[in-house]
Amino acid sequence: MVSDQQIARERIAILHEKAEQAARDGEQDRAREYVRRARRIAERNRLSLPAEFDRFTCDACDAYLLPGRNARVRTRGGHVVVTCDCGGQARYRYR
């Protein structure tokens, strides 16, 4: 038996891949659409999004972030700061 949550996780992983591919192709609007769909699926199934997904998407505008393309990455005092073109920032601790 495959649970709904497993199916949801798989769909999120696929959408993540598609978002990355679209972003690499310069199709930011399509990438955003995939990011939003993945977020909705996570919400509906009460799943938390994978850390990697969180890391590469902008909370403010849903863009899929590609450092050097539409995002800048800096390290600062044990944190990684990712700045989206929209000005949104995400901060992570080093591991």
Q: What is the binding site for Zn ion (CB under 5 A)?
A: 58, 60-61, 63, 84, 86, 88
CA–CA separation, 94 vs 31, rounded Å?
Answer: 27
Among residues 38 and 84, whose Cβ is nearest to Zn ion?
A: 84
Question: Quick check: 12 and 49 in contact, CB under 8 A?
Answer: yes
For the bound state, the minimum distance from the C-beta of residue 78 to Zn ion, rounded and expressed in Å, comes to 24
**Binding site feature residues for Zn(2+):** 58, 61, 84, 86
Among residues 11 and 72, whose Cβ is nearest to Zn ion?
A: 72
CA–CA separation, 95 vs 90, rounded Å?
Answer: 16
